[in-house]
Structure 1
Amino acid sequence: MQLKELFTDESAVSPVIGVILMVAITVILAAVIGTFVLGLGDQVSESAPQASFSFDFNDSDGVDITHEGGETLEKGNLNVSNSSASVAMNFPEDTVTAGDTAQHTNIAPSGETVRVIWINPAGGGTNTIARATAP
């Protein structure tokens, strides 16, 4: 075999690259289809909302929780909880916007951590979006 023939023989390059590209496309396609078939695609797009809440604790183990700013939320997707109980938020409207306040009694004894929990409407999970500890 001569040296010139070695550099001009390119017959095996095209099939190897073709096989590598086909395998890569198959793997990517399988991953995308698998994600949506298993239902993980919906959960990826549903992340916790960005919202700010303030807590005003009173002497009778109660707390006033005010939506200070951020995204508008659905009341049905919010709970307030401590270590022993979890109850629905009692905002006056179905949508919670900045300035809305929910009053809760018997949920914030001294030293208790109170959390605002967001429930994913697509199912699958919850997130704590605010927390405070009663004095």
Structure 2
Amino acid sequence: MRLKALLADDENAVSPVIGVILMVAITVILAAVIASFVLGLGPGGAAPTVNFDSEFDSGGPDSGGLTVSVTGGDSVPVDQLSFSGDVANVYGSGGSAISGTQWPANNATGSSEGETAISAGDEVTVGVDTTPYEVNVVWSSDDGGTTQTLTTFNGE
């Protein structure tokens, strides 16, 4: 009889042990998720919403000039915007080619934080090196860890 009582007590003890193990596992997982966001290891900031328009001039610079205009949306610092694809040169407001593929600061307006940012009404000319062409406007987060193509222009 004593053996039967011993087995019955052990079966009742299994449930609390599993419960404790599950609670510890849940606590560890929650701690890891919270720590990743606190330490900045979570997902980066969301890309801004900006509306662009373009006009292609086959007689423009290089193989043609694509004028990219901002028609509305969020204000974005120019150091977070660049062009990729069939880009030969990016032209500043004076009409001269600038080095690199960044949106030129002199083709943007100031933001409320005092840094140069694009907003509605700003435009820049991008010289394309081939026709047909594909030019992307690319946004990069402050830390450079996240990039996203905001829009793509295709044409012939």
TM-score tier (shorter)? 0.7 to 0.9
Match of 2:144 among 111, 116, 123: 123
Partner residue, 1:24: 26
Partner residue, 1:50: 49
Match of 2:125 among 103, 106, 109: 103
Partner residue, 1:71: 74
C-alpha spacing 1:20/1:92, structure 2 compared with 1 (3 Å): closer
C-alpha spacing 1:31/1:72, structure 2 compared with 1 (3 Å): same
2:93 pairs with 1:92 = no
Question: What RMSD in Å do the two structures reach over aligned CA positions?
Answer: 2.7
Q: Identify, as 1 or 2, the structure richer in strand.
A: 2
Structure 1 runs not aligned, ≥5 long: none
Contact 1:80 1:114 in 2 (8 A): yes
C-alpha spacing 1:14/1:87, structure 2 compared with 1 (3 Å): same
**Displacement, 1:120?**
1.5
Contact 1:48 1:118 in 2 (8 A): yes
Percent of matched pairs sharing the same residue: 20
TM-score (norm 2): 0.65
Number of residue pairs matched?
A: 126
